[in-house]
Each structure stands twice: as structure tokens, then as C-alpha cells.
């Protein structure tokens, strides 16, 4: 729907300033134009409206009743536009950064490491937007995106971060209650008799049927199953001792190191998907803050490649 009628927009800015100061001279100083330019803009607006807005007196300038009523509406409208514009411009500064990522990557990997980045670079403001869908990402406004996928979306610059190994994880208490072996390390088929935590997702996450197939077992219905549509919630259920979840190595490493989660079986699956850093192919301008974040992120990726010892140490037995 076309918005009409609309007056000349430049004349509204001139009118608001002149009405606020009750002076064409002060309005001209504020807007860095001549007094004659302000006078012409006001006259143009009055001709468009067909009504006078000011009473012009040699000693003072006053608003007509129409002018006073119109000023209130024009000022409020310009303030709304200014506020909306400021909110956008605020996140376009050189030292401000918008990161779009999944809930899993945000809560389990990025947020635990972000305090280090903030300590190193206190002048860079980071905004994190969490979404579990890659759809529409290309049309979103962001500086960096972090996502797990088999094939990166077209139209974006993709930098591989790390591959993923997937293996079952559970709490030590859950393992103690359900393990039939003396060492605590069981066989893949032992999982069938416990509660499996399933992730309901349309994205590229591996499911239990695929994992059992990789372990050489035919897909079978679990004895008990709990479905969740959010991976951090799935991990929390495992931490609570509610079942066995499939753990993505980089997302659960911190819990394995601390001993809050353990691996009940040794079988793991190397996935064909990986985590990527995604960026617009042709950003309007490369922000210094983005370059700093990229460098910090890639440093951490190098550290993540050396986690095998910690993973092995977390295994029971």
C-alpha cells in the first residue's frame, strides 16, 4: 500500500527545527544551511498543505494553531525514525560485531569461550543471535555465522572450522545404574535397553538410527525414548541422568573434561558434515572487529583439534 499523502520530507526537518526554536536563524545554524533555505522549505510546505504554519512578525516568530498541532505529530514521527535509524547504525560501527549461530553452538561452545575474547578486546561489542535454521541466513544482516552442516549455503564465504565425531554420552550416575560390565564400558547394543535421548531436527544432525548403522547394528526401536527439539536441552537431559544422548565432540568436550559426562561405549562415527564459519561474500565494508574475531576464532579451532587425550581420559574403565 502506497503511503500518501506525504509532504516534501526535507521541509519537515526544516519545519521541526524552526518550530522547536521558533527561529529560522537558529534552525539554519542547526541544519548547517542558510536562513533563506529554511524560509523556502517552510514556504514550500505551507503551499503543499494549503495552510499557514507560522505567524511571521518582525519581533518574534510564532506558530499558528495548525502549525502547533502539526509540529507535535511531525516531531514524534521524526523521533521514531531517528530511534529506529540509531538502533541500526549502532550495530554497524567498526568495533561492533553480530554473530548468528545455532543454539547448540552458542550455548555449548561460543559462550563459554567468549569471556576470553571480551577480556582481550573490551572495545568490541558482540551481539549473538541464535537460530537453529540456516534458511534465510543469506538474507540476514550479520558479520559472522557459525553453523554445522554437510554443505554450506550458496552465496556465502565458508571457512571450515572442524570436523565432528559423534558418540554416545551420559552422566556417570546413569552409567553406574545401567552398565552391565565391570569396567563400565559397554557394547552398542547395551544402549537399546536404556533411555535414548533423540533430537527432533530438520537440519543435518545425525540420529540414533544412523549411529547404530555405523556400529554394524540394524536400526531398532529403543526400549525408552525421550524426544527433544533443542540440542542444549538434550545435553541438559543427559547431565540430569535422564538417558543417553549422541554427543558432538566439540560441543560436549568441556563436559567430558570435567567428568560431568562420560562415554558409555567406545564406538564413534566420523561425520561428513562439519562446523563452518560463514560470512557474506561481498560485505559493504570489512569491519576491523570482524577480522579480530576471525583470528581469535581460528586460534581456538587449532586448540580444538588437540582434544583426543581429554576425550579418551573421560572414558570409563
Q: What is the CATH number of the domain that holds 65?
A: 1.10.10.10
Residue 263 domain boundaries: 164-272+309-314
pTM score, two decimals? 0.66
Structural domain includes residue 2:
no
Rounded CA separation 52/45 (Å): 9
Contacts of 165 (CB under 8 A, 6+ apart): 248, 249, 268, 269, 270, 271
Same domain, 292 and 154: yes
Assess if residue 3 is contained within a domain: no
Q: Would you write out the chain's pLDDT as a tens digit for each of its 317 residues?
A: 677 788 888 999 999 999 999 999 999 999 999 999 999 999 999 999 999 999 988 778 999 999 999 999 999 999 888 878 776 665 555 567 889 998 999 999 999 999 999 999 998 889 898 888 777 676 667 889 999 888 888 888 899 888 888 999 999 999 988 775 544 467 888 888 889 999 987 666 888 888 888 878 877 777 789 999 889 999 999 999 999 999 999 999 999 999 999 999 888 888 888 889 998 876 555 677 888 999 999 888 876 554 443 334 333 33
Over residues 172-209, the pLDDT tens digits come to 999 988 775 544 467 888 888 889 999 987 666 888 88
Asked if residue 211 and residue 177 are part of one domain, the reply reads: yes
Q: What is the pLDDT of residues 113-149, one digit of tens each?
A: 999 999 999 988 898 988 887 776 766 678 899 998 8
Nearest alpha carbon to residue 251 among 226, 274, 278, 272: 274
Nearest Cα residue to 148 out of 108, 189, 91, 193: 108
Contacts of 63 (CB under 8 A, 6+ apart): 19, 22, 53, 54, 55, 71
Amino acid at each position: 500500500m502506497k503511503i500518501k499523502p506525504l509532504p516534501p520530507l526535507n521541509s519537515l526537518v526544516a519545519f521541526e527545527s524552526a518550530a522547536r526554536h521558533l527561529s529560522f536563524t537558529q534552525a539554519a545554524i542547526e541544519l548547517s544551511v542558510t536562513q533563506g533555505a529554511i524560509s523556502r522549505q517552510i514556504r514550500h510546505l505551507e503551499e503543499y498543505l494549503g495552510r499557514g504554519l507560522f505567524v511571521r512578525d518582525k519581533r518574534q516568530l510564532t506558530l499558528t494553531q495548525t502549525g502547533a498541532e502539526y509540529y507535535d505529530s511531525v516531531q514524534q514521527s521524526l523521533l521514531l525514525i531517528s530511534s529506529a535509524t540509531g538502533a541500526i547504525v549502532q550495530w554497524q560501527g567498526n568495533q561492533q560485531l553480530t554473530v548468528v549461530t545455532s543454539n547448540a553452538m552458542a550455548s555449548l561452545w561460543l559462550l563459554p569461550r567468549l569471556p576470553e575474547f571480551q577480556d582481550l578486546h573490551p572495545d568490541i561489542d558482540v551481539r549473538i543471535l541464535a537460530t537453529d535454521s540456516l534458511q534465510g541466513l543469506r538474507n540476514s544482516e550479520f558479520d559472522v555465522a557459525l553453523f554445522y552442516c554437510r554443505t554450506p549455503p550458496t552465496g556465502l564465504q565458508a571457512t571450515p572450522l572442524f570436523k565432528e565425531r559423534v558418540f554416545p554420552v551420559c552422566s556417570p550416575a546413569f552409567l553406574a545404574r545401567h552398565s552391565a560390565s565391570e569396567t563400565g564400558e559397554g557394547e552398542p547394543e547395551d544402549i537399546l535397553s536404556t533411555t535414548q535421548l533423540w533430537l527432533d531436527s530438520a537440519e543435518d544432525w545425525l540420529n540414533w538410527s544412523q549411529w547404530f548403522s555405523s556400529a554394524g547394528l540394524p536400526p531398532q526401536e529403543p526400549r525408552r525414548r525421550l524426544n527433544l527439539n533443542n540440542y542444549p536441552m538434550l545435553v541438559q537431559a543427559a547431565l540430569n541422568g535422564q538417558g543417553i544422548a549422541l554427543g558432538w565432540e566439540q560441543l560436549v568436550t568441556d563436559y567430558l573434561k570435567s567428568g560431568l559426562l562420560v562415554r558409555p561405549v567406545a564406538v564413534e562415527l566420523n561425520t561428513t558434515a562439519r562446523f563452518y564459519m560463514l560470512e557474506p561474500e561481498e560485505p559493504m565494508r570489512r569491519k576491523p572487529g570482524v577480522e579480530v574475531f576471525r583470528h581469535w576464532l581460528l586460534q581456538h579451532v587449532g586448540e580444538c583439534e588437540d582434544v583426543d587425550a581429554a576425550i579418551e581420559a573421560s572414558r570409563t574403565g
